[in-house]
Structure 1
Amino acid sequence: MMKKTVCLFGLLWAGLALAADQPNIVFILSDDQGWRDYGFMGHETIQTPALDKLADSSLVFDRGYVASPLCRPSLASLATGRYPFEHGVVGNDVDGKNNRAELDQPVKDRFHTFPSFVKLLSENGYLTHQSGKWWEGSFQDGGFTHGMTHGDPARKGRHGDVGLRIGRDNMTPVTEFIDRAVEEEKPFLLWYAPFLPHTPHNPPKRLLDKYSEEGRSADIAKYYAMCEWFDETCGTLLDALDERGLRENTLILYICDNGWAPYSSNLDDPNQKTWKGFALRSKGSPFEMGIRSPIMVSWPGHAEVGRSPDLAHAIDFFPTIAAAAGVEAPAGLPGINLLDEDAVRSRQTVFGVCNTVMQMSVTDPDDTLQYLWCIEGDWKLILRYPGRDTSPYRKLHAWDKAPLRLYNVKNDPHEKNDLAAAHPKTVARLKTKIEVWRSN
């Protein structure tokens, strides 16, 4: 009996010691924000003091990329560490409005067959909380122990429902969850994905007044104000961690789901307003304003502080979180641990996709595939996906029917000069890389 008691005590002590060593994890995701639209990224007007302060204590990857330039597939790739054509979530909705929820269920079912860092942490003793954007049913469906989203289509559950109130209304659900985790002495994961700066662009008047000025379009002023509003909510969250003395043992990760730009800032032609509310070459496109986002990793004593010139990707979040928490990630994840300097420096290329905005097919993720892209160093190749022009789901962007485009994104960050004809060997090399990547 004494031996059994000692053994039980030893196991309990080991479990408590492991929990004490495991960091809390705070995942911050903004929604529809251009990669330059932060103070720490050099924007001349938008002020983001809270995120600037976080950047000062983070490893910042200026050249971060998402797997897809659209929110739902982007979030699905962040959670699973897989590309959209693997987990099957390639758009926001299955075609069809009257029975959208029924048509969408097979997509959700496929997604939930894949491991996620949420499920992994919940299974390993973490309290996990969802707030903000979440497309794949309720927070319970996603493997969270706590959360806000009910996901019930009968109650207008689609992409976050009640969870979308976080930040716009208050931060109480988040701070109450943190207090609960502290009280229970458990490590926690916080999924903070507010519906910001996403439309509706209805910022507080004080912020709108700040950015409204003669000569600046109203849509641009509203967007700028929304970016600062989002930053204010991040400040509230980060202050809550500081006030509770949690920052030293908390891993904070930041990324945006996809890029965005107001339509009146259109990079091609200000008179073209093809997409409601946002500019061409931004959200939904394979250009930098669609797929690029700064990525921040902050963990005192573990993550170096400074700017990295290396490439980072949304698929890296799962292996990074698993390594930090000391739990085993699923085999075969294509991403890397962003805290592994050798892995980061040895990476040469990142990849991604671009499917038709909004619609997707249940039967074949490639039914809506438009473009594949890769980046190697300063070179970027955008490859039009061949052979699908007859698909009822696939609609090419009016502004880009070229079979491929090559850019030097260091010298030409706005991708104005297509260099494909001048560099055929580079095109051939990158095209082969894309083909090999898709075949694996």
Structure 2
Amino acid sequence: MRITLFITSLILAVQPMLIAAVPPNIVFILSDDQAWTDYGFMEHAEIKTPHLDKLAARSLVMPNGYVAAPLCRPSLASMATGLYPFQHGITGNDVDGNKNRAELDVPMRAAFHQHPSFIKLLTSNGYLAHQSGKWWEGSWQDGGFTHGMTHGDPKRGGRHGDEGLKIGRTGLKPVTDFIDHATQEKKPFLLWYAPFLPHTPHNPPKRLLEKYTKPGRAADVAKYFAMCEWFDETCGELLDYLDQKKVLENTMVIYICDNGWAAPSTNKEDPNQKLWGGYAQRSKSSPYENGTRTPVMISWPGHTESARVPDLAHAIDLFPTIAAAAGIDPPADLPGINLLDAKARQARKRVFGVCNSTHNITVGNPDDTLQYLWCIEGDWKLLVRHHGKDTTKYKNLHVWDTLPVRLYNLKNDPQEKNELSASHPEIVDRLKKNIKQWHPVPAQ
């Protein structure tokens, strides 16, 4: 009896080490244009996301997560490289938003791909990797994937995902075929699942639209709510398939969103915001919470606790987290942390981000179109309005001390309605110094 108990105890003690010795599969789920509040597990009163709620119940959930930029392309580029936009150079969606966008993008992509990514790190260490959904930087081959959907060919209008954007809305067969192939090959795999959901066009199935259509509710709100649940359904289909293939036990599932969103009818211009620099709406492309905040969750049986923690998480953390899980050394100069390291999370004092012009990347000068920098420390968030060339109102401001700021207490005011810079100048000064030390932007 004692021998049996000893052997059982030994197996239980050694089992986690045995699991860790086998490289985990990485399933990266990325929603597109979804506000940080708009999930069941984030306690939204109306939107139903039962599949993501189920994932959250077995995940390390970090509700205080942030992206590096509140716009899809620079946000995704930061996730892949673990760098900020001013480091990897992708600051907006286009080099020139008014003409030949796909052609002008080619040299920009070439420069971007000189940076390491967690995709290339994994495939160079024996992983198979599949790209589906949103992907801006050329083809799946350009990105270092071994399989994929996006061709990125300018002559065929290849841009921001092209063929890959069909995933989810028209089924998951390319993804499930890849999972079949990887399991047959008995190789660890990375799955980049970034469906064009709940992004516009908001064309949900009729059954879901009817569910969310109510008297007094704006049509654009009902459509958006329905899209959020449609996205959740595709996540459920994917997770169920992984379960059927019996690979979830050694699979790390990561969830994040690229940037926030708000239905236009709920996001009207505030005339008072005009004084702040012209961009009035508080959603995608803005530095406010509805542009930059996202829940982040990680599920890896035997390695992550099922818990909800208040620690700050950031999109730049994904690269070091994935590398650590795979047992591979990431580049030494990455600014992020391993989110599975509780001590590193708890030691973090603040996070930062930027916001540039949406459709004008200045090749070689990423700060040329800079509009905002922001910092979160504890309950406080400071926004600094910069003076990139697209912001003519502030073109003569060359001194940090004169740059316009906004200060919010996120604990008391998560919707950022009460601006407090005048009553807390000492906090403004401290956070502004932190921002300047993090990214000392020169005057232009």
Q: TM-score, normalised by structure 2?
A: 0.90
Contact 2:96 2:360 survives alignment (8 Å): yes
Contact 1:75 1:257 survives alignment (8 Å): yes
Equivalent in the alignment of 1:350: 351
Question: Which deviations, in whole Å up to 9, do the C-alpha atoms of 1:67-116 show, x marking residues without a partner?
Answer: 00000000000000000000000000111543323322222112101000
Q: Distance in 1 between matches of 2:191 and 2:392?
A: 37
Contact 2:103 2:154 survives alignment (8 Å): no
For structure 1, the 5+ residue unaligned runs are 1-16, 273-277
Question: Closer, same or farther in 2 for the Cα pair 1:354/1:96, shift >3 Å?
Answer: closer
Q: Distance in 1 between matches of 2:115 and 2:403?
A: 35
Equivalent in the alignment of 1:304: 305
Equivalent in the alignment of 1:415: 416
Equivalent in the alignment of 1:56: 57
- State the one-letter code of the partner of 2:151: H
The Cα shift of 1:331 comes to 1.0
Contact 1:367 1:394 survives alignment (8 Å): no
Q: Distance in 2 between matches of 1:80 and 1:402?
A: 30
Question: Which deviations, in whole Å up to 9, do the C-alpha atoms of 1:230-269 show, x marking residues without a partner?
Answer: 0000000000111111111000100000000001111654
Question: Which deviations, in whole Å up to 9, do the C-alpha atoms of 1:389-408 show, x marking residues without a partner?
Answer: xx2x44679xxx98100000
Q: Distance in 1 between matches of 2:169 and 2:368?
A: 36
Equivalent in the alignment of 1:136: 137
Equivalent in the alignment of 1:173: 174
Question: Closer, same or farther in 2 for the Cα pair 1:20/1:162, shift >3 Å?
Answer: farther
Equivalent in the alignment of 2:404: 403
The Cα shift of 1:439 comes to 3.9
Contact 2:386 2:403 survives alignment (8 Å): no
Question: Which deviations, in whole Å up to 9, do the C-alpha atoms of 1:257-288 show, x marking residues without a partner?
Answer: 00000011116549x9xxxxx98110000000
Secondary structure of the 2:26 match is strand
Contact 1:265 1:279 survives alignment (8 Å): no
- State the one-letter code of the partner of 1:341: A
For structure 2, the 5+ residue unaligned runs are 1-17, 274-278, 395-401
- State the one-letter code of the partner of 1:291: T
Question: Which deviations, in whole Å up to 9, do the C-alpha atoms of 1:28-53 show, x marking residues without a partner?
Answer: 00000000000000100000000000
> Do structure 1's residue 338 and structure 2's residue 349 form an aligned pair?
no
Equivalent in the alignment of 1:65: 66
Equivalent in the alignment of 1:295: 296
Equivalent in the alignment of 2:248: 247
Contact 2:407 2:419 survives alignment (8 Å): yes
Q: Distance in 1 between matches of 2:97 and 2:369?
A: 15
Contact 1:133 1:194 survives alignment (8 Å): yes
- State the one-letter code of the partner of 2:367: D
- State the one-letter code of the partner of 1:178: I
- State the one-letter code of the partner of 1:41: M
Q: Distance in 2 between matches of 1:84 and 1:151?
A: 21
Equivalent in the alignment of 1:280: 281
Question: Closer, same or farther in 2 for the Cα pair 1:359/1:155, shift >3 Å?
Answer: same
Secondary structure of the 1:365 match is coil
Q: Distance in 2 between matches of 1:301 and 1:366?
A: 43
Q: Distance in 1 between matches of 2:175 and 2:392?
A: 40
Question: Which deviations, in whole Å up to 9, do the C-alpha atoms of 1:157-204 show, x marking residues without a partner?
Answer: 000000000000000011110010000000000000000000000000
Contact 2:19 2:250 survives alignment (8 Å): no
Q: TM-score, normalised by structure 1?
A: 0.90
Contact 2:28 2:253 survives alignment (8 Å): yes
Structure 1 stretch displaced more, 122-131 or 93-102? 93-102
> Do structure 1's residue 46 and structure 2's residue 29 form an aligned pair?
no
Q: Distance in 2 between matches of 1:405 and 1:191?
A: 36
May I ask how many residue pairs the two structures share in their alignment? 413
> Do structure 1's residue 24 and structure 2's residue 25 form an aligned pair?
yes
Q: Distance in 1 between matches of 2:280 and 2:340?
A: 35
Q: Distance in 2 between matches of 1:82 and 1:394?
A: 25
RMSD over aligned CA atoms reads 2.2
Q: Distance in 2 between matches of 1:174 and 1:337?
A: 27
- State the one-letter code of the partner of 1:136: E
- State the one-letter code of the partner of 1:34: A
Secondary structure of the 2:368 match is helix
The Cα shift of 1:356 comes to 1.3
Secondary structure of the 2:226 match is helix
Equivalent in the alignment of 1:90: 91
Q: Distance in 1 between matches of 2:420 and 2:99?
A: 45
Q: Distance in 1 between matches of 2:107 and 2:58?
A: 42
Contact 1:260 1:279 survives alignment (8 Å): no
Equivalent in the alignment of 1:105: 106
Secondary structure of the 1:366 match is coil
The residue correspondences of 1:114-125 to structure 2 (distance < 5 A) are 114-125=115-126
Question: Closer, same or farther in 2 for the Cα pair 1:368/1:51, shift >3 Å?
Answer: same
Question: Which deviations, in whole Å up to 9, do the C-alpha atoms of 1:120-140 show, x marking residues without a partner?
Answer: 000000000000000000000
Question: Closer, same or farther in 2 for the Cα pair 1:124/1:395, shift >3 Å?
Answer: farther
Contact 2:102 2:158 survives alignment (8 Å): no
Question: Closer, same or farther in 2 for the Cα pair 1:82/1:345, shift >3 Å?
Answer: same
Secondary structure of the 2:418 match is coil
Equivalent in the alignment of 1:227: 228
Q: Distance in 2 between matches of 1:360 and 1:169?
A: 32
The residue correspondences of 1:258-269 to structure 2 (distance < 5 A) are 258-266=259-267, 269=270
Equivalent in the alignment of 1:206: 207
Equivalent in the alignment of 1:367: 368
The Cα shift of 1:378 comes to 0.5
Secondary structure of the 1:371 match is strand
Q: Distance in 2 between matches of 1:301 and 1:184?
A: 24
Contact 1:22 1:326 survives alignment (8 Å): yes
